[in-house]
Amino acid sequence: MPKTAAKKSTKTKTTRYDVAEHLRTPKEMAAYLDAWLEEAPDDAAGIARALGDIARAKGMTQVAKDAGLSRESLYRALSAEGNPSFATVLKVARALGVKLHAEAA
C-alpha cells in the first residue's frame, strides 16, 4: 500500500493594523483627522479615536505634556470608551499641531 503524504496545514499569520505606525508627517496627521471630520462628522468617538491615533504616532507622553494633561487621562479621553470634553479636544489638537476649521455646509 502506498503511503500518502500528510497534508501540511498552512495558517495565515495576521497582525493587528495600527494606523499610528503610518502617520509620519504633520501633513499625513492633518489629512487623517480631516478625513474623519469629512467622512464621519457626527461620530464624536471616532474623531476622538483619530486624535488618539495621531497622539500615539507623535508620542503620547509628549502630547499629554504639551496639552497640560496626564498621560493616563489622555489615554482615557481618546480611547474607544472615552468622551473628551471639547476643551480637551482643543488642547490635544493644539498639542498635536493640527487646526480644526469650519466651512459652510
pTM given for the model: 0.80
Tell how many helices (H) and how many strands (E) occur in the chain: 5, 0
Q: Which three cell numbers stand for residue 104?
A: 459652510
Q: 23-59 burial string, b = 16+ CB within 10 Å, else e?
A: beeeeebbebbeebbeeeeeeeeebbbbbbbbbbbbe
Specify whether the CB–CB gap between 58 and 81 falls below 8 A. Answer: no
- pLDDT tens-digit series, residues 31-53: 999 999 999 989 999 999 999 99
Q: What is the biggest distance separating any 2 CA atoms in the chain, rounded to whole angstroms?
A: 79
Please state the domain extents for the chain: 25-96
pLDDT computed for residue 25 by the predictor:
93
Distance, in Å, from the CA atom of 95 to the CA atom of 75, rounded to the nearest integer, reads 14
Distance, in Å, from the CA atom of 6 to the CA atom of 86, rounded to the nearest integer, reads 61
- Looking at residue 20, its amino acid is A
- pLDDT tens-digit series, residues 3-36: 665 666 688 888 888 899 999 999 999 999 999 9
Q: Is the pLDDT of residue 1 over 80?
A: no
pLDDT computed for residue 64 by the predictor:
97
